[in-house]
Protein backbone atom coordinates (compact mmCIF):
# COMPACT_ATOMS: atom_id res chain seq x y z
CA UNK A 1 0.00 0.00 0.00
CA UNK A 2 1.06 3.59 -0.63
CA UNK A 3 2.00 5.46 2.54
CA UNK A 4 1.29 9.17 2.79
CA UNK A 5 3.36 11.32 5.15
CA UNK A 6 2.42 14.89 6.03
CA UNK A 7 4.63 17.50 7.61
CA UNK A 8 4.60 19.22 9.94
CA UNK A 9 2.15 17.52 12.28
CA UNK A 10 1.26 20.86 13.84
CA UNK A 11 1.82 24.33 12.51
CA UNK A 12 1.45 27.51 14.56
CA UNK A 13 0.65 30.58 12.52
CA UNK A 14 -1.01 33.97 12.66
CA UNK A 15 -3.83 35.48 10.65
CA UNK A 16 -2.38 36.83 7.42
CA UNK A 17 0.55 34.41 7.30
CA UNK A 18 1.40 32.44 4.20
CA UNK A 19 1.56 28.76 5.17
CA UNK A 20 2.68 25.63 3.37
CA UNK A 21 2.11 21.98 4.22
CA UNK A 22 3.83 19.05 2.60
CA UNK A 23 2.51 15.62 1.71
CA UNK A 24 4.88 12.89 0.54
CA UNK A 25 3.91 9.59 -1.03
CA UNK A 26 5.95 6.40 -0.65
CA UNK A 27 5.72 5.91 -4.42
CA UNK A 28 4.55 8.02 -7.30
CA UNK A 29 0.86 8.85 -7.37
CA UNK A 30 1.06 11.05 -10.46
CA UNK A 31 -1.31 13.96 -9.85
CA UNK A 32 -3.90 11.84 -8.07
CA UNK A 33 -3.77 13.76 -4.82
CA UNK A 34 -6.53 15.54 -2.93
CA UNK A 35 -6.50 17.89 0.05
CA UNK A 36 -9.20 18.13 2.71
CA UNK A 37 -9.91 20.49 5.59
CA UNK A 38 -11.55 19.19 8.75
CA UNK A 39 -12.82 21.09 11.75
CA UNK A 40 -13.58 19.43 15.10
CA UNK A 41 -16.82 17.47 15.06
CA UNK A 42 -17.37 18.00 11.35
CA UNK A 43 -16.94 16.00 8.20
CA UNK A 44 -13.90 16.80 6.07
CA UNK A 45 -14.34 19.18 3.14
CA UNK A 46 -12.63 18.78 -0.21
CA UNK A 47 -10.37 21.72 -1.07
CA UNK A 48 -8.24 20.55 -3.97
CA UNK A 49 -8.16 17.52 -6.26
CA UNK A 50 -5.86 16.31 -9.03
CA UNK A 51 -3.08 17.98 -6.99
CA UNK A 52 -3.88 21.53 -8.07
CA UNK A 53 -7.56 21.85 -9.08
CA UNK A 54 -9.50 24.02 -6.67
CA UNK A 55 -12.96 22.70 -5.88
CA UNK A 56 -15.69 25.13 -6.89
CA UNK A 57 -16.52 27.51 -4.05
CA UNK A 58 -13.21 27.09 -2.23
CA UNK A 59 -11.46 30.44 -1.64
CA UNK A 60 -8.63 31.22 -4.02
CA UNK A 61 -6.18 31.68 -1.14
CA UNK A 62 -5.88 27.88 -1.19
CA UNK A 63 -3.65 26.35 -3.83
CA UNK A 64 -2.03 23.01 -4.43
CA UNK A 65 1.06 21.95 -6.32
CA UNK A 66 3.30 18.99 -6.94
CA UNK A 67 3.27 15.65 -8.68
CA UNK A 68 4.80 12.23 -8.28
CA UNK A 69 5.74 11.87 -4.64
CA UNK A 70 5.82 15.40 -3.24
CA UNK A 71 2.91 17.78 -2.90
CA UNK A 72 2.25 21.12 -1.24
CA UNK A 73 -0.87 22.87 -0.01
CA UNK A 74 -0.48 26.63 0.33
CA UNK A 75 -2.73 29.13 2.05
CA UNK A 76 -1.63 32.52 0.80
CA UNK A 77 -3.08 34.56 3.67
CA UNK A 78 -4.35 32.60 6.64
CA UNK A 79 -7.84 33.56 7.77
CA UNK A 80 -9.54 32.84 11.12
CA UNK A 81 -11.75 30.24 9.43
CA UNK A 82 -8.68 28.31 8.27
CA UNK A 83 -7.60 27.04 11.68
CA UNK A 84 -8.32 23.35 11.21
CA UNK A 85 -6.66 20.06 10.37
CA UNK A 86 -5.65 19.35 6.79
CA UNK A 87 -5.33 15.91 5.23
CA UNK A 88 -3.97 14.72 1.93
CA UNK A 89 -5.23 11.57 0.22
CA UNK A 90 -3.81 9.71 -2.73
CA UNK A 91 -6.37 8.56 -5.27
CA UNK A 92 -3.87 6.75 -7.52
CA UNK A 93 -3.99 3.22 -6.25
CA UNK A 94 -6.97 0.93 -5.97
CA UNK A 95 -6.49 1.27 -2.24
CA UNK A 96 -6.66 4.92 -1.28
CA UNK A 97 -4.79 6.25 1.76
CA UNK A 98 -4.73 9.44 3.82
CA UNK A 99 -1.86 11.27 5.40
CA UNK A 100 -1.91 11.63 9.18
CA UNK A 101 -2.89 15.30 9.00
CA UNK A 102 -1.43 18.73 9.73
CA UNK A 103 -3.14 20.76 12.45
CA UNK A 104 -3.02 24.52 12.02
CA UNK A 105 -3.24 26.36 15.33
CA UNK A 106 -3.25 29.99 16.30
CA UNK A 107 0.17 31.33 17.19
CA UNK B 1 -28.01 19.45 -4.16
CA UNK B 2 -25.90 16.43 -3.37
CA UNK B 3 -26.45 15.11 0.13
CA UNK B 4 -25.36 12.06 2.04
CA UNK B 5 -27.33 11.56 5.24
CA UNK B 6 -26.14 8.94 7.69
CA UNK B 7 -27.97 7.13 10.45
CA UNK B 8 -27.67 8.22 14.04
CA UNK B 9 -25.20 7.38 16.78
CA UNK B 10 -25.03 3.83 18.05
CA UNK B 11 -24.01 2.42 21.43
CA UNK B 12 -23.14 -1.27 21.34
CA UNK B 13 -21.68 -3.90 23.63
CA UNK B 14 -18.59 -5.85 22.63
CA UNK B 15 -19.46 -8.77 20.39
CA UNK B 16 -22.55 -7.12 18.94
CA UNK B 17 -23.03 -5.95 15.36
CA UNK B 18 -23.95 -2.56 13.94
CA UNK B 19 -25.24 -1.41 10.58
CA UNK B 20 -24.71 2.20 9.52
CA UNK B 21 -26.73 3.61 6.65
CA UNK B 22 -25.87 6.37 4.20
CA UNK B 23 -28.74 7.72 2.10
CA UNK B 24 -27.79 9.68 -1.00
CA UNK B 25 -29.85 12.31 -2.77
CA UNK B 26 -29.42 14.96 -5.42
CA UNK B 27 -27.65 12.75 -7.97
CA UNK B 28 -27.87 9.37 -9.69
CA UNK B 29 -26.72 7.00 -6.95
CA UNK B 30 -25.36 4.29 -9.23
CA UNK B 31 -23.08 6.69 -11.11
CA UNK B 32 -20.67 7.35 -8.24
CA UNK B 33 -18.84 5.03 -5.88
CA UNK B 34 -19.24 5.32 -2.11
CA UNK B 35 -16.20 5.33 0.14
CA UNK B 36 -16.14 4.60 3.85
CA UNK B 37 -13.73 6.37 6.24
CA UNK B 38 -13.10 5.76 9.93
CA UNK B 39 -11.94 8.33 12.45
CA UNK B 40 -11.12 7.07 15.92
CA UNK B 41 -11.42 9.59 18.78
CA UNK B 42 -8.73 12.24 18.45
CA UNK B 43 -7.16 10.47 15.48
CA UNK B 44 -6.83 11.03 11.76
CA UNK B 45 -8.83 9.78 8.81
CA UNK B 46 -8.49 6.13 7.85
CA UNK B 47 -9.73 4.92 4.47
CA UNK B 48 -11.72 1.72 4.90
CA UNK B 49 -12.61 1.00 1.30
CA UNK B 50 -15.27 1.65 -1.26
CA UNK B 51 -18.17 0.06 -3.05
CA UNK B 52 -19.01 0.28 -6.72
CA UNK B 53 -22.64 1.37 -6.67
CA UNK B 54 -23.21 0.11 -10.21
CA UNK B 55 -21.97 -3.44 -9.70
CA UNK B 56 -22.13 -3.72 -5.92
CA UNK B 57 -18.50 -4.86 -5.86
CA UNK B 58 -16.72 -3.79 -2.64
CA UNK B 59 -13.03 -3.15 -2.07
CA UNK B 60 -11.67 -3.27 1.46
CA UNK B 61 -8.49 -1.68 2.74
CA UNK B 62 -6.01 -3.73 4.72
CA UNK B 63 -7.28 -4.06 8.24
CA UNK B 64 -10.92 -3.88 7.19
CA UNK B 65 -11.49 -7.35 5.91
CA UNK B 66 -13.60 -9.99 7.60
CA UNK B 67 -15.70 -8.07 10.11
CA UNK B 68 -16.56 -5.16 7.83
CA UNK B 69 -19.11 -5.43 5.03
CA UNK B 70 -20.22 -2.81 2.55
CA UNK B 71 -23.60 -3.23 0.88
CA UNK B 72 -26.21 -1.32 -1.07
CA UNK B 73 -29.92 -0.90 -1.55
CA UNK B 74 -30.00 0.92 -4.85
CA UNK B 75 -33.82 1.11 -4.77
CA UNK B 76 -33.51 3.69 -2.00
CA UNK B 77 -30.08 5.10 -2.96
CA UNK B 78 -28.54 3.87 0.27
CA UNK B 79 -25.19 2.37 1.17
CA UNK B 80 -24.56 0.38 4.32
CA UNK B 81 -21.58 -0.44 6.51
CA UNK B 82 -21.99 -3.45 8.76
CA UNK B 83 -19.46 -4.28 11.45
CA UNK B 84 -19.69 -7.56 13.30
CA UNK B 85 -18.03 -8.82 16.50
CA UNK B 86 -17.56 -5.26 17.71
CA UNK B 87 -14.56 -4.48 19.89
CA UNK B 88 -13.83 -1.44 22.06
CA UNK B 89 -11.22 -0.45 19.50
CA UNK B 90 -13.96 -0.05 16.89
CA UNK B 91 -15.24 3.05 18.70
CA UNK B 92 -15.07 5.76 16.07
CA UNK B 93 -16.93 8.09 13.77
CA UNK B 94 -17.65 6.44 10.45
CA UNK B 95 -18.14 8.59 7.37
CA UNK B 96 -19.57 7.68 4.01
CA UNK B 97 -18.44 9.79 1.09
CA UNK B 98 -19.10 10.02 -2.63
CA UNK B 99 -16.25 9.57 -5.07
CA UNK B 100 -16.39 12.04 -7.92
CA UNK B 101 -15.38 11.79 -11.52
CA UNK B 102 -11.72 12.58 -10.85
CA UNK B 103 -11.48 9.95 -8.09
CA UNK B 104 -11.78 12.67 -5.50
CA UNK B 105 -14.07 12.35 -2.49
CA UNK B 106 -16.28 15.31 -3.21
CA UNK B 107 -19.20 14.94 -0.78
CA UNK B 108 -19.29 13.51 2.74
CA UNK B 109 -21.98 12.30 5.08
CA UNK B 110 -22.17 13.92 8.49
CA UNK B 111 -20.61 10.93 10.21
CA UNK B 112 -22.00 8.28 12.55
CA UNK B 113 -20.50 7.74 15.99
CA UNK B 114 -20.33 4.11 17.01
CA UNK B 115 -19.41 3.58 20.63
CA UNK B 116 -18.49 0.09 21.81
CA UNK B 117 -18.44 -0.40 25.54
CA UNK B 118 -19.54 -2.91 28.11
E strands, A1-107, in order = 4-7, 10-13, 19-25, 33-38, 45-49, 53-54, 62-67, 70-75, 85-90, 97-98, 102-106
pLDDT for the residue numbered B82: 98
Percent helix, strand, coil in chain A, to 5, is 5, 50, 50
pLDDT digits (tens, 9 = 90+) for B49-83: 999 999 999 999 999 999 999 999 999 999 999 99
Q: Tell which wins on pLDDT, A106 or A26.
A: A26
Which helix (H) or strand (E) covers residue B89, if one does? Answer: none
Q: Do A53 and B102 touch (CB under 8 A)?
A: yes
Query: CA–CA separation, B113 vs B10, rounded Å?
Result: 6
Confidence of residue B101 (pLDDT cuts 50, 70, 90): confident
Indicate whether A94 pLDDT > 90.
Answer: no
Spell out which chain B residues touch chain A, with contact meaning CB-CB distance below 8 angstroms. Answer: 35, 37, 44-47, 49-50, 59, 61-62, 95, 97, 100, 102-106, 108-111
Q: Do A44 and B95 touch (CB under 8 A)?
A: yes
Indicate whether B102 pLDDT > 90.
Answer: no
Nearest chain A residue to B100, by CA: A49
Residues B17 and B29 sit within 8 Å (Cβ to Cβ)? no
Nearest chain A residue to B46, by CA: A98
Amino acid sequence: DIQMTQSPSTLSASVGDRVNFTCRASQSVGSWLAWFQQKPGKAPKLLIYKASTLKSGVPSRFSGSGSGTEFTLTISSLQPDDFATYYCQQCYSYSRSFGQGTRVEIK
Amino acid sequence: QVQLVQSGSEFKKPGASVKVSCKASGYTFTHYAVNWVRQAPGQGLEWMGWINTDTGNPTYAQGFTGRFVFSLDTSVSTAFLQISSLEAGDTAVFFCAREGGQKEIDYWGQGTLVTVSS
